[in-house]
Amino acid sequence: MLKSLVYALSDNRTITGFLSRRGMSSGFARRFVAGETLEDAVRCVRELNGKGIPCSLNFLGEHVKDRRMAAAVVDSYLAALDGIQEQKLDSNLSVKPSQLGLDIDFDFCLANLQTVMERAARYGLFVRIDMEGSEYTERTLELHRKIRERFPLVGTVIQSMLRRSAGDIRDLNAMKSRVRLVKGAYKEPPAVAFQKKSEVDEWFQRLSEMLLRDGVFPALATQDPAMIDHAVRFADRNRIPKESYEFQMILGVRRDLQESLKKEGYGVRVYVPFGKQWLPYFMRRLAERPANILFVLRNLIAER
């Protein structure tokens, strides 16, 4: 119900226009987004690194359908990699295929991704290919397969809400590829995705076990204590060392949990998004938890 409401609001131009105008100036969007510029992101990553927390930097935006715009995105990714290297940040990079032109042409997107990977390889930096809606899943996995032939420091993302994900994880484990597991934040039809939270949670736990048992340094991306507890207990029972996996969380959510896990010796990485195209990402964060919506409302009321 909550997700459906937020998705409906995301199509309302009055609502989205208001959020776009006020999100950064009022400050409530900055809980989940580092800012609109690379300088904002570098500042945020440096602060997290100062607390001993590594990051994954992501330049926001999606569904680019113009080749010149895709080229500009490539430049932004290259600048982000340069910034990580020059500032000596403890961060890797996450990229979205639809930003790199996957809606335009597969080979065009692959060439753009290769340009990004060449720069990352020069610095010895890891790059994660983000997963978007289910209509992109197969093409994104094919991009990953092809680019990995030349660049081993690349991984991808699997969503536990998709019915196909167990098979995808088996294939990726066999390739010895690094996987980030997420629940998934896109609106999907019942034919391809589980609709009940209980089902999505159950499959997150099952897929976590597959990754912990047979994967290569898996990243379990969740702020859900139940999912974290399940993974920790499974790892302990199977004598899987803490150093062989990590938890990932999004900026601004469950900072208390990030700190407690870190103190207990678990690896924790924070996903740090930035850029002017922050609204779709922000709306997905609102859809995930009622507390996120209450946080925004409290900030707007306080401002008035």
Q: How confident is the model at residue 293 (pLDDT cuts 50, 70, 90)?
A: low
Q: What is the pLDDT of residue 19?
A: 53
Q: What CATH number should be reported for the domain whose range is 34-277?
A: 3.20.20.220
Q: How confident is the model at residue 279 (pLDDT cuts 50, 70, 90)?
A: confident
Tokens of 76: 């932004």
Average pLDDT over residues 90-94: 98
Q: How confident is the model at residue 25 (pLDDT cuts 50, 70, 90)?
A: very low
Q: How confident is the model at residue 283 (pLDDT cuts 50, 70, 90)?
A: confident
Active site residues: 130, 180
pLDDT at 284 over 80: no
CA–CA gap between residue 240 and residue 27 (Å, rounded): 41
Q: What is the pLDDT of residue 23?
A: 46
Q: What is the pLDDT of residue 302?
A: 42
Lowest mean pLDDT among 77-91, 135-149, 288-302: 288-302
Q: What is the pLDDT of residue 29?
A: 67
Tokens of 28: 């409530």
With beta carbons less than 8 A apart as the criterion, state whether 129 and 102 touch: no
- Residue 1 in 3-state DSSP? coil
Task: Name residue 182's beta-bridge partners.
Answer: 159
3-state secondary structure 256-302: HHHHHHHHCCCEEEEEEEECCCCHHHHHHHHHHCHHHHHHHHHHHHH
Domain ranges of the chain: 34-277
Query: What pLDDT, in 10s, does the model give residues 103-152?
Result: 999 999 999 999 999 999 999 999 999 999 999 999 999 999 999 999 99
The amino acid occupying position 20 is S
Residue 12 vs residue 62, higher pLDDT:
62
For the residues of 88-127, what is the DSSP string, one character each? T-SEEEEE-GGGGTTTT-HHHHHHHHHHHHHHHHHHT--E
Residue with tokens 């150093």: 243
Q: How confident is the model at residue 300 (pLDDT cuts 50, 70, 90)?
A: very low
Q: What is the pLDDT of residue 289?
A: 58
CB within 8 Å of 52: residues ≥ 6 apart: 262
pLDDT at 5 over 70: no
pLDDT at 44 over 90: yes
Tokens of 27: 């400050």
With beta carbons less than 8 A apart as the criterion, state whether 292 and 286 touch: yes
With beta carbons less than 8 A apart as the criterion, state whether 30 and 278 touch: no
Residue 303 vs residue 142, higher pLDDT:
142
Going through 133-292 in order, the beta strands assigned E by DSSP cover 154-159, 178-182, 219-221, 246-250, 267-274
Q: Angle 2-10/279-288 helices, nearest 10 degrees? A: 160
How many percent of the chain have pLDDT more than 90? Answer: 75
pLDDT at 1 over 70: no
Average pLDDT over residues 195-206: 96
Is the model's pTM score more than 0.85? yes
